[in-house]
Chains A and B, each alone.
Chain A
Amino acid sequence: MENAQKSETNNHRLLKKNGSSSKKNEKRGKALVYSSAAIVIIATLAITLFLGYKGIRTFFVFDVSVWNFLTTTDWDGTENSGAFSFIFGSFAVTFLAALVAAPLGIGSAIFMTEIAKKWGQKVLQPVIEILVGIPSVVYGLIGVTVIVPLLRDNVGGLGFSLLAGMIVVGVMILPTITSISADAIKAIPQDIKDASYGLGATRWQTIYKVIIPAALPSLMTAIVLGMARAFGEALAVQMVIGNVKGLPESITDQAATLTSIITLDMPHTTYGSVHNSLLWSLGLFLLIMSYVFIIIIRFVSSRRKV
Chain B
Amino acid sequence: MKSFKRLALLFAFFLVVGVLAACGGSSEEGNSGSEDGGSEEGSGESGSITVGGSSAMQPLVAAAAEEFTAENSDAQIDVQGGGSGTGLSEVAAGNFDIGNSDYFAETKDDIDAEELVDHKVAVVGMTAAAHPEVGVDNLSKDELKEIFTGEITNWSEVGGADEEITLVNRPDGSGTRATFNEFGLDGEEPAEGITEDSSNRVMQIVNDTPGAVGYLSFAYFERNEDIVPLGVDGVEPTDENVKTGEFPIWAYQHSYTQGEPEGLEKEFLDYMMSEEIQTSLLPDQGYIPATEMEVERDAEGNESDIE
Contact = CB atoms under 8 A, between A and B. Distances in A.
Interface in B39-95: 55, 81-86, 88-89, 93
B209 interface: yes
A238 interface: yes
B111 A35 contact: no
A31 interface: yes
Interface stretch (B151-159, B170-178, B253-261): B170-178
Interface stretch (B117-125, B194-202, B224-232): B194-202
B208 interface: yes
A273 B110 CA distance: 6
B1 interface: no
Contact of A268 (B110, B174, B194, B204): B174
A35 B8 CA distance: 11
A111 to B, nearest CB: 37
A151 B48 CA distance: 50
Interface in A231-279: 238-239, 242-246, 254, 256, 263-273, 275-276
Interface residues of A, number: 36
A244 B14 CA distance: 46
A8 interface: no
Contact of B171 (A239, A264, A273): A264
A264 to B, nearest CB: 4
A264 B109 CA distance: 21
A243 B194 contact: yes
Contacts of A27: 5, 9
B109 A273 contact: yes
B110 A264 contact: no
A267 B86 contact: yes
Nearest to A42: B14
Interface stretch (A101-109, A152-160, A173-181, A197-205): A152-160
A269 B173 contact: yes
Contacts of B193: 244
A30 interface: yes
A60 interface: no
Nearest to B173: A268
Contacts of A246: 192
Interface in B231-271: none
A76 interface: yes
Given A265-B173, A275-B172, A243 B85 contact: no
A272 B93 CA distance: 12
B195 A35 contact: no
B13 A35 contact: yes
> Taking each of A31, A77, A239, which has the highest tally of chain B beta carbons within 10 Å of its own beta carbon?
A31
Contacts of A239: 201
Nearest to B84: A268
Given A242-B194, A246-B192, A254-B194, A270 B108 contact: yes
Contact of B9 (A35, A76, A160, A267): A35
B217 interface: no
A120 interface: no
Contacts of B166: 158
B195 A34 contact: no
A238 B195 CA distance: 9
B165 to A, nearest CB: 11
Contacts of A264: 171, 195, 197
A52 interface: no
Given A77-B173, A268-B83, A242 B93 contact: no
A31 B195 contact: no
A38 interface: yes
B99 to A, nearest CB: 11
Contacts of A268: 83-85, 171-175
B21 interface: no
Contact of A271 (B9, B89, B171, B204): B89
A230 B273 CA distance: 48
Nearest to B13: A35
B153 to A, nearest CB: 14
A230 to B, nearest CB: 20
Given A268-B174, A270-B110, A273-B109, A158 B194 contact: yes
B6 A267 contact: no
A149 B196 CA distance: 17
Interface string A114-156: 0000000000000000000000000000001000010010000
B134 to A, nearest CB: 15
B171 A265 contact: yes
A160 B212 CA distance: 12
B192 A31 contact: no
A238 B172 CA distance: 15
Contact of B195 (A76, A159, A242): A242
Q: Which 7 A-B pairs have the closest CB atoms?
A: A267-B83, A268-B173, A243-B195, A31-B9, A271-B89, A264-B171, A242-B194
Interface of B: 5-6, 9-10, 13-14, 55, 81-86, 88-89, 93, 108-111, 166, 171-175, 189, 192-197, 201, 204-205, 208-209
Given A243-B171, A243-B194, A275-B173, 8 more contacts: A35-B13, A38-B10, A77-B173, A242-B194, A264-B197, A267-B86, A268-B172, A271-B110
